Structure 1
Amino acid sequence: MQTINVKIEKVINNSYEIEIGYDMFEKLVDDIKHKIVPNVYRYAIITDSNVAALYGYRLFELMKKQGFNVDIYSIPAGEKSKTRENKAEIEDKMLEAGFRKDSCIIALGGGVVTDLAGFLAATYCRGIPVINYATTFLAAADASIGGKTAVDTPLATNMIGLIVQPQKVYIDLKTWETLDDAQIENGLSETIKHACIADADFFEYLNANIDVIKERGRSDKRYIDMLEYICRKNIEIKYNVVTQDEQEDGLREVLNLGHTVGRAIEAASKYEISHGNAVSLGMVAQVLLGYNRGYVTDKQKDRVIEIYNKAGLPVTLNEKVKIENILDKMYADKKVRKGKIKFVFQKGIGDMMVFGERFSDTVEKNEIEEALKKMM
């Protein structure tokens, strides 16, 4: 018998830029001209049906006029499109069109697009580069940054995917002018979550300015400065975590605050409930559980629930989503260990609980059920 030791050691630099601006297509094209991603022959814009009509074909034509070899692929808008089947369909179209290793994907859209397109890029030809161009508040706050990519299945949300960092992220505040109230509220949901995790002052800022933040269609400097500030705070909070734990081995668990119940609600509703609405409900559930365990005071609990309500987000469960279905879906959460559901909890407002060397703790099914019943 002979043993051969295959020694592979790498030092990998996954650093990249996140640029916040207003009407950034020309900047994107200029960056591509200056080889932001080297050795690329072809570009695939991946978007959804809503964004394609608003922005996708404009970017496609702009790149064509500049002499780039580019195609555009669109999926139906909505969380229900973030599937293995849609990923495979685009892959087959790209293969048929002749896309190979010298290709780059531009993910133009919200979280559904950046999740699916990032996962596709990570697996296509065993990995090609991706640029994220976020067009929604939710994508700017969460999905376009951090490197998480995934698709959903009928059994679970975001369980099939990879962590792979983009080449660059563009956050275009002009695209927010075409967002409806529900999409602004979705972004606020993750933003409030970030404040609960790490920044009590940011929580107070959001509480004082939510009504102004929700004013869509404005382009005056004060409003743009406010949106830029919110984007920067989201990025600072998220990257203070991600840079310490890129692969979610420990600290990065805290970014799942509110998501254990939230993702289960999304799946139990068959994605009729949006991600932001589901996270809002998940945040209410965890703060009720946290209050019962002494992690937050009664006043802090009420303030978290009140700010979500003030943002126009749900804080009570609709009877259409059954508690037993939510509990069933929770066992598909990636934090489940040895059949036990794990939760991360905020500590007051602006800090997180630590349990020994972990940031999550086991919660019994009856505890969760009691909290959900209070939300009905």
Structure 2
Amino acid sequence: MANFRVPLKKYVDSSYDIEVGSNLYGKLSRDLKDGIIENVNRYAIITDSNVKDLFGEHLLNLLRNDGFYVEMFTFPSGEQNKTRETKAQLEDQMLAKSYGRDSCIIALGGGTVSDLSGYLAGTYCRGIPYINYPTTLLAAADASIGGKTAVNTPVATNLIGVFHQPRKVYIDLITWGTLPYRQIRSGLAETIIHACLGDINFFQYLENNIARLYSPNNELSLDNEVCEHIAFKNCEIKFRVVEKDDEEKNFRKVLNLGHTAGRAIEALSNYNLLHGEAVAIGLAFQAYLGKKLNFNTIDEYRRIINLLKLAELPTEIPNDIKSVDLINKMYTDKKVRNSQIHFVFQDGIGKMKQFNSGDYSIPISEELLLESLDEFRKL
């Protein structure tokens, strides 16, 4: 019998810059001219049907006028279209245009575009570079750092994907001004989650300043100083987590705060709830469960609920979603281990609970979940 060992040790620097500012299209073009990505001859802008008309055509024409070979590929907007089928269609379109390993993807859009484009880039020709240009507050908060890319399946959201880091991220605050009121609120949910898990001072800042994003008649009134601070703090907090655990072996699980129930609620609503709205409800329930287990106080729980309401986010599970269905859907979460639903919990506000095992998540029994859901729905 013969044995041959293949010694493979990889040391990779996946560092990248995040630029926060306004009207960054020209900066993107200049960076490409300066060789931010080497050995690339073709660029593919991937966007959805909404962003295509808002920003896609403008970026396409700008890059073409600057001498780049670039095409735009679009798919119907909406989380329900973040699927393997959509990914395959985009891949076929790129192949038909002779895109190969000398290509780079520019993901232009919200979280759906970021997730789908990053996954496509991670597998196309066994991996090509991509640039992330998020156009929503939610995408800037959730998809700019970490390199988690994925598509949804009928079983659960974000179940199939890869870790693939962008080469650079451009957070263009001008794009936020085109967002519907509801989309801004949705993006604030991930912002509040970041404050809850990593920075009590930022939580207090949101309590004091979140109203500067809205006018009294429920219209946007985006204060540029607040927007820039929110964008920066989202990146800073998430980076501190990802730096310690870039492939989600343990500590990075804390970013699942609000998402265990939230993603299940999102799917059970048939995506009628936006992602941020669903995880806001998930955060509210997780905070209640944490209070019940004495991980946070009643006052801390109330502050979390009050901040969600100040952001005009939902905090109640829709009546048409049954508790038993919600629990069954939670079993499809990627964090399930040994057929047990795992939750992460706050250790007060601005810090996450690490348990005696060293893990940042613990299993919660079906009985406790059902009891807690019933109590939560009666509040």
TM-score of Structure 1 vs Structure 2, range by shorter chain: over 0.9
What amino acid does structure 2 have at the position aligned with 1:118? G
Would you say the 8 A contact 2:185–2:312 is kept in 1? yes
Q: How does 1:1-376 map to 2 (within 5 A)?
A: 1-214=1-214, 223-355=223-355, 356-376=357-377
Deviation digits for residues 50-86 of structure 1 (CA, Å, limit 9, x no counterpart)? 1101000110011111111111011111111100000
Would you say the 8 A contact 1:49–1:75 is kept in 2? yes
Deviation at 1:226, TM superposition (A): 1.8
Deviation digits for residues 60-117 of structure 1 (CA, Å, limit 9, x no counterpart)? 0111111111110111111111000000000001011100000000000010000000
Specify the SS of the correspondent of 2:244. Answer: coil
Deviation digits for residues 169-223 of structure 1 (CA, Å, limit 9, x no counterpart)? 000000001011111111110011011101111111101111112356657xxx2
Deviation digits for residues 134-167 of structure 1 (CA, Å, limit 9, x no counterpart)? 1000011112321010000110111100111100
Deviation at 1:330, TM superposition (A): 0.3
Unaligned regions of 5+ residues in structure 1, if any? none
* Paired-residue identity, %: 50
Q: What is the TM-score of this pair, normalised by structure 2?
A: 0.96
**Stretches (4+) displaced over 2 A:** 213-219, 370-376
Unaligned regions of 5+ residues in structure 2, if any? none
Deviation digits for residues 314-369 of structure 1 (CA, Å, limit 9, x no counterpart)? 01111122222211110011111100110000111111111121000111112222
Specify the SS of the correspondent of 1:106. Answer: strand
Deviation at 1:262, TM superposition (A): 0.5
Deviation digits for residues 223-249 of structure 1 (CA, Å, limit 9, x no counterpart)? 222211111111111000101100000
**Matches of 2:373 and 2:258 in 1, distance apart?**
13
Would you say the 8 A contact 2:109–2:135 is kept in 1? yes
State the aligned residue count: 373
Q: What do you get for the CA RMSD once the two structures are aligned?
A: 1.2
**Matches of 2:154 and 2:10 in 1, distance apart?**
37
Specify the SS of the correspondent of 2:161. Answer: strand
Would you say the 8 A contact 1:184–1:214 is kept in 2? no
What amino acid does structure 2 have at the position aligned with 1:60? L
Deviation digits for residues 297-316 of structure 1 (CA, Å, limit 9, x no counterpart)? 11111111111111111011
**Matches of 1:54 and 1:371 in 2, distance apart?**
44
**Matches of 1:94 and 1:30 in 2, distance apart?**
24
**Matches of 1:84 and 1:324 in 2, distance apart?**
28
**Matches of 1:271 and 1:368 in 2, distance apart?**
23
Deviation at 1:374, TM superposition (A): 3.2
Deviation at 1:371, TM superposition (A): 2.6
